[in-house]
Structure 1
Amino acid sequence: MKLLKLMSVLLDYPGDELWQHGDELRAALDDPALSPKRQAQLRGFVDNLLASDPLEAQERWLGLFDRGRAMSLLLFEHIHGESRDRGQAMVDLLSTYRGHGFELGAKQLPDYLPVVLEYLSLRPTEEIRDWLAHVAHILELLAARAQERNSEYAAVLEVLVETAIGRVELDLLRKRVASEARDDTPEAMDRVWEEEAVRFGAEAPADDCNPPTRLPSGAKRVEPTVTP
């Protein structure tokens, strides 16, 4: 699905090469999978992005997705936190990718949302729907938080939510996230570093981020090896 490849590019860190391929990016917006309303929203997003100085655009991305965990694009942070389960989930996901001939770059993490979307863009439609349904609750949470922070990335995340479940109804979720303590302030980030310096476990993720008991279509579970 070409739309997921586009979403992958738009959500990824805006590297300098993005500005070298602006015409291709704009052309990709003519995807029939997008409604006229969504096309207009994404066109506005892309136009604003390409009109920005790359350093400013990169700083905005870092300020939203790389400061604090609430807006992290690493999906397993929302499901497993820093627990040991996250490591096994990473192994399973890597095995799934490799089983379908999808190899990651040296610095890419398998649960990074743009990587997941790039992989899914190569998979059959039913498999795409199944995978997106598994992470729809995280996509909704990210979209609601982006809305609450008045981020232009909210439109991109809303398109993903709509692709996953066919609708975008975030009013109740947005009211909930409005009461959350921000974790991207300098003070909050300092507290996190101080806690992690002495903490041996991780706080449990929220109940609404519990992983599904069934793996999505095409996913593999790798049994951990036990050394005698």
Structure 2
Amino acid sequence: MNDREKLMLAIASRMLTYPTEALYEEKEAVIAAAKETDAALEKAAAALFCLPLSEIQSLYVSTFDLQEKNGLYLTYHEFGDSPKRGAAFIKLQKMINEAGFERNDGELADYMPMLFEFLAVSEPSRETERLCKRLAYAVQRIAGHLSEESLYMPVFSVLMEQIFEQPSKEEIEALEQQREKADLENLPYPIMY
């Protein structure tokens, strides 16, 4: 991964992180950095950050937090509600810790914006290459569920076109078969006493 791609990942990380006051104060720096990398990313950053903070927060919540298929947690996209998700989460956390990357935002280890930042500062390795493949699947899956009008769609498009390799149909089918849906059957006992 070259320096330009690493910068693009860092920008995507900022744009896809929950918009706090501190992040909003960095908006000019994010837009300037995006201008150095890609016109579509610059346009997306400018469109997003021209909104008031409260509108960006509302848009973020309605796009990612209230839409299950758009959630920004890697292991959810890979495994759904499978018990395999916990093991994958632990392996991911171990890889991040062994690389010396410190998480200080309180997010889970599979939070995709944090993983983009991790890739932006990490040295290439077998583990980071595998992580890129895993993220490519999740990014493509989210992009497939976002509307074309979403202010976040250009970020996902840039990631798929310039950072991550498109997963093959066979890879997508294999990953989709690993996913498990939530068990919503009636419980065998009453919840209320």
TM-score band w.r.t. shorter chain: 0.7 to 0.9
Q: Secondary structure of the residue that 1:147 maps to in structure 2?
A: coil
In 2 relative to 1, CA 27–135 (structure 1 residues): closer, same or farther, beyond 3 Å? same
Listed one character per residue, the Cα deviations across residues 45-70 of structure 1 (whole Å, up to 9, x for unaligned) are 22222221111111011101001311
**Does the 8 A contact of 2:35 with 2:42 survive in 1?**
no
**Does the 8 A contact of 2:74 with 2:111 survive in 1?**
yes
- Segments of 5+ residues of structure 1 without an aligned counterpart are 169-191, 200-228
Post-superposition offset of 1:107: 2.1
Corresponding residue for 2:152? 153
Post-superposition offset of 1:10: 0.8
Post-superposition offset of 1:114: 0.5
Percent of aligned positions that are identical? 26
Post-superposition offset of 1:145: 1.5
In 2 relative to 1, CA 197–71 (structure 1 residues): closer, same or farther, beyond 3 Å? farther
In 2 relative to 1, CA 53–106 (structure 1 residues): closer, same or farther, beyond 3 Å? closer
**Does the 8 A contact of 1:73 with 1:113 survive in 2?**
yes
In 2 relative to 1, CA 104–196 (structure 1 residues): closer, same or farther, beyond 3 Å? farther
Which structure dedicates a bigger proportion of its chain to helix?
Answer: 2
1:16 maps onto 2:5 in alignment: no
In 2 relative to 1, CA 25–129 (structure 1 residues): closer, same or farther, beyond 3 Å? same
Rounded Cα–Cα distance in structure 1 between residues aligned with 2:34 and 2:67: 31
Q: TM-score, normalised by structure 1?
A: 0.65
Letter in 2 for 1:23: E
Q: TM-score, normalised by structure 2?
A: 0.76
- Segments of 5+ residues of structure 2 without an aligned counterpart are 1-5, 168-181, 189-193
Task: Give the paired residue count.
Answer: 168
Corresponding residue for 1:177? none
Letter in 2 for 1:56: E
In 2 relative to 1, CA 197–78 (structure 1 residues): closer, same or farther, beyond 3 Å? farther
